[in-house]
A = this chain, B = another copy of it.
């Protein structure tokens, strides 16, 4: 791909309107912060939020996007099933999908995974340290051996997702848990990455290493111009 990768950053955008603490951390919204990280990394960005018409998941936005990056938490159930189907179909057709933090429970991610996507969690006084367990993976580019995320919500195993095609990160939490916090999947013609950090009450998306991962993940998830499978009735081939 010779042009810049295009990312549609989707955010539920409810915490920011309800909770002054969150609004204080992310005055432009979580999507605004993520968008700034991606733009700094040289990517093109549009944003979309739940309360826009069609949740902002318009035909025009979906046609434009190479990658959809998704943050949601409070209102997964408010995302229309029809919009979810459009997103899932796009991803299987090649559009990248990056699910962030509590988007483990978002409808598109759950549909694409086929599992409950459930986990343990705790809002406490944990420190999160992310270990890179796949140093050759493009999503680890530019990182050191760890990301010292700092104070964060804990997510713990068992994380009920399919065994990742590639496991890139594992998190350590003070309270005694571990978590597969960077999980890469291929589904159809699309690439999917789950990245754990980003609870709304911590300024995690301003962390330079976390921002680097967002950029790397978007680049990695962008589609390549591979074969478009043809399905259905097929004639025998030559060369028998």
Contacts and interface: CB of A to CB of B under 8 A. Distances in A.
Contacts of A92: 115-116, 160
A187 B136 CA distance: 8
Interface string A126-148: 11010111111110111111101
B120 A231 contact: yes
A237 B190 contact: no
Contact of A226 (B111, B115, B137): B137
A226 B143 contact: yes
A165 B167 contact: no
A154 B185 CA distance: 28
A239 interface: yes
Contacts of A208: none
Contacts of A230: 120, 145
A54 interface: no
What secondary structure prevails in chain A residues at the interface with B?
loop
Interface string A76-117: 000000000000000010100000000000000001111110
A133 to B, nearest CB: 5
Interface string A208-237: 000000000000000111111111111111
User: How many copies make up the complex?
Assistant: 4
Contact of A140 (B127, B136, B154, B226): B226
A96 B177 CA distance: 29
Nearest to A143: B227
A240 B237 contact: no
Interface stretch (A13-21, A168-176, A194-202): A168-176
Contacts of A150: 239
Contact of A234 (B142, B148, B156): B156
Determine which residue in A141, A150, A228, A236 has the highest number of CB atoms from chain B within 10 A of its CB, and name it.
Answer: A236
A121 B232 contact: yes
Contacts of A127: 239-240
Given A131-B178, A162-B187, A163-B165, A119 B227 contact: no
Contact of A136 (B112, B116, B189): B189
6 contacts: A131-B156, A133-B180, A160-B188, A163-B167, A175-B236, A176-B237
